[in-house]
Amino acid sequence: MKAEVQDMISQKIAKTVNSNLYNPEFNVTKLSEIVAMDRVTLYRFLKRVNNCTPHEFIEHSRFEYAKELLRNENNKIKDVAVDAGFADNRHFSTRFKKKYGMTPRAYRYAI
C-alpha cells in the first residue's frame, strides 16, 4: 500500500474516532461501517500501521481525551468519563488505573 493512501486512511480513522469519542455506543463495528472497511481489514490495517487493535485504538483515543479533561480541576471525574465516551464511571476508573497505574483522581493530582 502506498504511503499516501495509508496516511489518508489513517487520518480518516483518527478523525472518525475523535469525532465520536463522546459516544459510548461508538465501537469497532460502527468505526468499520463509517470508514467503509470490514472489521478484519480494519484490524489488519491498524495492527500493521499502529500496532494495536481497533478496540485498543478507540480506547487509547478516549483515554488521551480524558487526560486532557482531567487537567481542568473543575471537571468532575464522572463528567470526564461521560465526555470521553465511557458509559460507566467505575469502568472508566478501573480501565484508567489498569492502563496508567493510578486512578483518574491520582493522575489529576500528579500532573
Examine the pLDDT at 63 and tell me if it is beyond 90: yes
Q: pTM for this one?
A: 0.92
* Mean pLDDT confidence for 93-107: 97
Q: What is the dihedral of CA 87, 64, 68, 8, to 10 degrees?
A: -110
Question: What share of the chain has pLDDT > 90, as a percent?
Answer: 94
d(CA 99, CA 90) in angstroms, rounded, equals 14
Distance of CA 49 to CAs 7, 20, 45, 57, Å? 9, 21, 6, 11
Q: In the structure grid, which three cell numbers stand for residue 87, read together?
A: 458509559
